[in-house]
Structure 1
Amino acid sequence: MADKCHLCLLGLIFLSSLLTGLSGVDDVHVFISSGENVRLSCNNALHDCKSTAWIYNRFSHSETVELIAGGIKKTDTESYERLSLGSDCSLNIKNIIKEDYGSYTCRQYVNDQQQGTDARVYLHVLHVSSSSSSSSQTEISAGLSVTLFCQLYSSAGVSCDEWIRSKGIDLFWVNQAGVKLTRSDSRYQISAPDHCIITLNTTLLNEDLNREWRCEVTHRDQLKTSATYTDKRPARADSTTAETPVHSTNSTTTTPATSGSLFRMIVIIVEFAVFAAPTVIFLQIICDRRAENKEKL
């Protein structure tokens, strides 16, 4: 009887370990907000990254996308430009977008044979957006009703709503001072259609310019990530533009004669006299001789 109990106990231990392995107790969960950069660790890397492959699945049964093969980026993926492989075989993703959420698996191949077990990382992306009756951001003004949407994009083998409820994860809004906003605040209308999305509706005031509202994700009261919405209404330009008068002054400037110009004038007179005097004398001689000839006749 005792032997049977031991066998049953060993069977339960084996079954428990098997189920634990299937449930992914060693899987890593990373929370990040859109627009940031993230590093996903590869916990099964070998001595170099030539054997490393990174595989992506958005959902558990969705199409598998190979991002890295043999330590080299695949060029036929949408996120090619934003990916890089770290020296420790980690996967680096720049400028995270909400569509990046899902399962990332690091796998090792040697001679086309898989080595060891997979190292899986679940990436959860927090994204904040706004919606208003205005058609463009430049038209947002005081008195306008604005709704802010905060959503956690997540896929960990089950639906986001189910996973969040089972793991004790919370989404909520806080103001610029870090105070949690609640439904009891008359200025805000907060609603949560499910556990993965929470909305905040408010009417903008003049003093809200550059004010921040932040959405936070916590796991058992520990902050995991946050995303911020800032009221960035453009400042109104002054309708009147001051004109600087331009004054045009017409003036006549008199330049006094200098000693140099006076000297030049004297030189000109002297030169004229030098050339004119012989001519006058010569003409005078001719006239005198003509007069003498007339008297002789």
Structure 2
Amino acid sequence: MSDKCHLCLLGLIFLSSLLTGTSGVDESHVFISSGENVHLPCNNDPHDCKSTTWIYNRFRNSAAVELIHLGITKKDTESHERLSLGSDCSLNIKNVTKEDYGLYNCQQYVNDKQQGDDARVYLHVLHFSPSSSQTEISPGSSVTLSCQLYSYAGVSCDDWIRSQRIELFWVNQAGVKLMISVSRYQILAPGRCIITLTTTLLNEDDNREWRCNVTHRDQLKSSTKYSPTIKSSAQDKTTAAVIPVCTTNSQDPSTPNTHVTKVIMIIVEFAAFTAPTVILLQIVCARRAGRKTLQHQEEI
């Protein structure tokens, strides 16, 4: 029993040293949303960026990838066009993708010998994906928004959450945290590093914002937002209308029906004032018809 406890204690010590950093090792955590630019600090006091080397690991047992070698960007990496060194030897990454998450190490070499310890930077990438890419959505449509945090795969998501006090959650436009299955929202967390929000959009949701926030030790580190454009449910509709048009025919005044108003049915597109127009035209037609009949009787 004591042997098992001893092994557990050693495991906890190892995990603690991995997550919180060992003595003499500089370590930092950077959170960024995919699509943004990020700045990874090199805090081991480089005196010359020509001595700076940056290496990268996504998994604990994966081979390290050299991104920057003695101040020069390596051209054989997929991300080399998005990488650059800052004036303080920091690593700048443009248009971050979810595949950029992982552990970055800044090293200093003088005469092929490393000077000091690595400066470790854990890059955590917050990635957001709506269920629909539509820019305009009809009211009544259901959308599912997914928010996931990608972190160094050498440590499990649950361990990151616990050890670094990382929290992932949704807030409304007022910044109020949305609780699980409250009101018309359904929030699911299938894993501690992923959280989804499902809701049915209403007319009043037009341009409303929902945000997925990530906090590190109770401090907001990154945020993504979703703001839909709702199609108006009161679209202008075209309707076929029957409008009487008054005409007179003076070719044969002796014919009793010559001056009788003829009604021609014309189909037109109308919006809001069709009915009043029809009534007005009917009145005008009736009056003109009466005057024409009276004039014809007087001539006789």
> TM-score when scaled to structure 2?
0.68
Structure 2 residue aligned with 1:85: 85
Q: How does 1:91-170 map to 2 (within 5 A)?
A: 91-132=91-132, 137=134, 140-155=137-152, 157-170=154-167
Gaps of 5+ in 2: 1-12, 239-268, 271-300
Letter in 2 for 1:193: P
Q: How does 1:209-228 map to 2 (within 5 A)?
A: 209-228=206-225
Structure 2 residue aligned with 1:31: 31
Letter in 1 for 2:150: Y
Structure 1 residue aligned with 2:286: none
Pick closer, same or farther for the CA change 1:66–1:235 going to 2, 3 Å.
farther
Contact 1:137 1:233 in 2 (8 A): no
Structure 2 residue aligned with 1:60: 60
Letter in 2 for 1:195: R
Structure 1 residue aligned with 2:204: 207
Contact 1:45 1:52 in 2 (8 A): no
Contact 2:139 2:231 in 1 (8 A): no
Structure 2 residue aligned with 1:48: 48
Other structure's SS at 1:163 match? helix
Alpha-carbon shift at residue 140 of structure 1 (Å): 3.0
Pick closer, same or farther for the CA change 1:175–1:107 going to 2, 3 Å.
same
Letter in 2 for 1:164: I
Return the structure number with greater helix share.
1
Pick closer, same or farther for the CA change 1:151–1:22 going to 2, 3 Å.
closer
Alpha-carbon shift at residue 142 of structure 1 (Å): 1.2
Matched, 1:176 2:173: yes
**Once the two structures are aligned, what percentage of the paired residues are identical?**
72
Letter in 2 for 1:78: E
Pick closer, same or farther for the CA change 1:235–1:74 going to 2, 3 Å.
farther
State the alpha-carbon separation in 2 of the partners of residues 200 and 126 from structure 1. Answer: 15
State the alpha-carbon separation in 1 of the partners of residues 231 and 85 from structure 2. Answer: 40
Structure 1 residue aligned with 2:279: none
Q: Which digits, 9 at most, give the CA deviation of each residue in 1:36-77, with x for residues without a partner?
A: 111111112432111110001111112321110110111121
Other structure's SS at 1:192 match? strand
Alpha-carbon shift at residue 239 of structure 1 (Å): 7.1
Alpha-carbon shift at residue 138 of structure 1 (Å): 5.1
Contact 2:203 2:232 in 1 (8 A): no
Alpha-carbon shift at residue 183 of structure 1 (Å): 2.0
Alpha-carbon shift at residue 235 of structure 1 (Å): 7.3
Gaps of 5+ in 1: 1-15, 243-297
Letter in 1 for 2:89: C
Letter in 1 for 2:82: R
State the alpha-carbon separation in 1 of the partners of residues 166 and 30 from structure 2. Answer: 13
Matched, 1:194 2:194: no
State the alpha-carbon separation in 2 of the partners of residues 69 and 126 from structure 1. Answer: 28
Structure 2 residue aligned with 1:261: none
Q: Please say which structure displays the higher CA radius of gyration.
A: 1
State the alpha-carbon separation in 1 of the partners of residues 17 and 176 from structure 2. Answer: 39
Higher mean Cα deviation, 52-61 or 213-222? 213-222
Matched, 1:72 2:72: yes
State the alpha-carbon separation in 1 of the partners of residues 141 and 19 from structure 2. Answer: 50
Alpha-carbon shift at residue 206 of structure 1 (Å): 1.4
> TM-score when scaled to structure 1?
0.68
Contact 2:135 2:228 in 1 (8 A): no
For these two proteins, the number of residue pairs brought into alignment is 223
